[in-house]
A = this chain, B = another copy of it.
Amino acid sequence: MKADEGISVGLMGLGVVGSGVARTLLQKAGALARLVGRPLVLRRVLVRDLHKPRTVEVPRALLTTNPEELLANDDVDVVVELMGGEHPALEYLQRALAAGKHVVTANKEVLAKHGAVLLDQASAKGLHLRFEASVGGGIPIIGPLTRDLLGNEISSIRAIINGTTNYILTRMARDKVDYATALREAQGLGYAEADPTNDVEGIDAAYKLAILATLAFRTRVHATDVYREGITRLEAKDFRYAHELGYQIKLLAIGRQVNGAVQLRVHPAMVPLETSLAKVDGAYNAVEVEGDLAGKVMFHGLGAGALPTTSAVVGDLLEIARLLAANAPVVQRLALDPDSHVCPMDDLVTQYYMRLNVADRSGVLAQIGRILGDLDISIASVIQKDADRRTGTAELVIMTHPGREAAVQEAWRQVARLGVTDRLNTLIRVEAA
């Protein structure tokens, strides 16, 4: 940093979020300089194509396709990485840190897979590595978890952190639209990508949960530690039955301390209708954190989009710039607990909603009941829906009392082998209020 020149930013990526950040640095330059005490200067912008038409007016001279012009540039103090994807973003971040540059990134994939390594590298070099934008868009959540709530023992995190799936589920629940239609709509609105796998299979949510859980539980969590199930198998009738039973279906990311281990899972869940999480609609995100002191605190807002994510990036950038301007040392925030570990999904104990089509004849329910009973899963209620005379099948909706995941999965397999089921439809875990 050259004091008279302000703090220099090298921006990687000029997509929707990169454009928002560039526009903010250029258009709000005066206000940002007053907050920092010296200018925040956009020094270089890495793009893939110099000639692509852009909505943001970045001086052509700042654009480059050569990463060296940021990474090997002594004039760049902070690298802001908004390219997304694992490679080459990971390598660029590692090289930026190796070159003594502070880093702001929104890259949840890189953080969920390589966050611990990057944090160690930043720490060893005395550099800032900030990533508020990686989870929850414009909702401050990394900051509160690592600072304001730091005195708490966090017992659980429950979050709706993928706007695409929440939009689809909201449409299915509220407007009785089927999955394929809701997905097409989300694609039309730009909420879902042409290949929606990352969102609808819960991959994006699992990345974000891995980041939150690392901070909240001080556990080294890798993306693959998160149990994951997407929303593609949900049907319109599941939403109808859920409502009848007093629930909303949401794709939840759940992290919970259970007997000294951390349970981590992303899957559709039945959430009681009267809870705040059930009321998070459309493209909104929400993160509920429960601590021993604070109790339940909920953070709610726009979880994606150019401007909300820009808010998070610029917040991190301002914080780093103010600390640099004050010559403050980097205070490392994350002390991992070496004893903490992730517990296997098999050990989960919760309630389940099961929907299955069975032969509509006597004795079938007794057979299913016996399988569940033998596996210590007790039934809270059974409702028979839609008997179909033509096919001779009936639809059963079973709500269980809390049972063990391993037992429920085994029961599901045994029921399939009974030869009385036409289709095993949906198995949805139920969250208490």
Contact = CB atoms under 8 A, between A and B. Distances in A.
Interface in A1-53: 20, 24, 28, 31-32, 34-35
A329 interface: yes
Interface residues of A, number: 55
A296 B280 CA distance: 13
Contacts of A294: 137-139, 301-302, 307-308, 311-312
A279 interface: yes
**A-B CB proximity, top 7 nearest:** A151-B314, A138-B294, A140-B148, A293-B311, A297-B301, A294-B311, A140-B144
A152 B311 contact: yes
Contacts of A152: 311
A263 interface: no
Contacts of A291: 138, 311
A151 B28 contact: yes
B151 A311 contact: yes
Given A147-B147, A151-B317, 11 more contacts: A132-B148, A138-B297, A140-B297, A150-B319, A279-B279, A294-B307, A295-B307, A295-B308, A297-B301, A297-B302, A298-B298
Contacts of A293: 20, 24, 138, 307-308, 310-311, 314
Contacts of A307: 292-295
A34 B218 CA distance: 12
Copy number in the complex reads: 2
A318 B335 CA distance: 13
Interface string A306-325: 01101110110111001100
A331 interface: yes
B35 A335 contact: yes
Nearest to A337: B34
Contacts of A20: 293
A295 B301 contact: yes
A151 B318 contact: yes
Interface in A141-197: 143-144, 147-153
Nearest to A32: B151
Contacts of A139: 294, 297
A327 interface: yes
A329 B323 CA distance: 9
Given A294-B138, A295-B308, A301-B294, A149 B331 contact: no
A366 interface: no
B149 A315 contact: yes
Nearest to A142: B148
A147 B301 contact: no
